[in-house]
Amino acid sequence: MTMLETPLDPSLFAEGPKRDARFDVRERWLDMENLPHDHPDVHLEFLARQMNEELNSMEIAASNLVDFPDTPWALRMSIARQAADEARHAIAFRRLLEARGGSISQFPVINFQYRIMLAIPSRIGRLAVANRSFEASGIDAITDGLQSLNRKDDVEFTSLFDQQLADEVQHVRFANVWIKKLVDEEGPRTMMALARGVAQGDKAFKQIVGADNLITYPVSEEVRREAGFTEAEIQTAHSFVAQN
């Protein structure tokens, strides 16, 4: 039995977010449509998937506010702004999806980000996995999408991605700042919670997509620097992409 045939480890995943009957929720990446690049609906499926991913990001940020009420006020404000940004992104993706003839119930969705994140018990672990890992990979994907030849002339698409990229950079940057600050102030226990959160997130993600099905994008060095990554961290990202 392969990893993708083995039931998901319930200790690594929280219950999924609530979705109404319009949504066909799938559990693993390979259960999704995953249309070929030349399929006529591939852009609609992409918009639908992005809309739901933005909802996941909004729900994660909102949950972080509820689950960690003792978070320093300045960090709470950054997380609250992130929740508002993600809600705006979800609305924008839905608007473009429907303007192009698609609907929110047309394609299946997957809520792995939310399920992984809410199973991580520490605030710093969630910041590391959600903002420094998932969102950092997202800025690489957005940058690559903006440079894609078949989308350069799509003004609506590139405008939406430009706006999203600006917000996502801020989400990664505040996490980079606060993770360092919290580790410096709180010491080894917080560092251990950080390491456990990252290891748990990595293990759960591989159960969703499979170790042999990871999708990586070219590392956007300039944007990652703007988001607060060090040169060493950027080189580590390059190494990860090269290995996958």
In this prediction, residue 241 carries a pLDDT of 54
In this prediction, residue 212 carries a pLDDT of 57
Place of tokens 């499979």: 210
The CATH number that applies at residue 228 is 1.20.1260
In this prediction, residue 149 carries a pLDDT of 46
In this prediction, residue 68 carries a pLDDT of 97
* φ, ψ for residue 12, nearest 5 deg: -100, -5
In this prediction, residue 221 carries a pLDDT of 66
CA 225 to chain centroid, in Å, comes to: 19
- Domain annotation covers residue 15: yes
- Domain annotation covers residue 52: yes
- Domain annotation covers residue 150: yes
- Domain annotation covers residue 166: yes
Q: Which two tokens stand for residue 96?
A: 């473009």
Domain that includes residue 157, residue range: 9-243
The set of residues, in sequence order, having a beta carbon less than 8 Å from that of 50 and lying 6+ positions away, is 89, 93
d(CA 40, CA 205): 29
In this prediction, residue 133 carries a pLDDT of 77
HSE-CB at 228 with a 13 A cutoff on CA atoms is 18
Q: How many separate domains does the chain show?
A: 1
In this prediction, residue 148 carries a pLDDT of 61
The set of residues, in sequence order, having a beta carbon less than 8 Å from that of 143 and lying 6+ positions away, is 165, 217, 218, 220, 223
Q: Which two tokens stand for residue 162?
A: 């430009």
Q: CA dist 45 to 35, 78, 94, 186, 188, Å? A: 8, 31, 11, 44, 44
Mean pLDDT by runs of 10 across the 244 residues of the chain is 70 95 92 85 88 94 97 97 95 95 95 96 94 74 62 77 84 91 94 94 88 59 70 63 55
- Domain annotation covers residue 217: yes
The model's pLDDT over 126-149, given as tens digits with 9 standing for 90+, comes to: 999 998 877 766 666 666 666 664
The set of residues, in sequence order, having a beta carbon less than 8 Å from that of 154 and lying 6+ positions away, is none
- Domain annotation covers residue 2: no
CA dihedral 187, 193, 199, 203 (to 10 degrees): -170
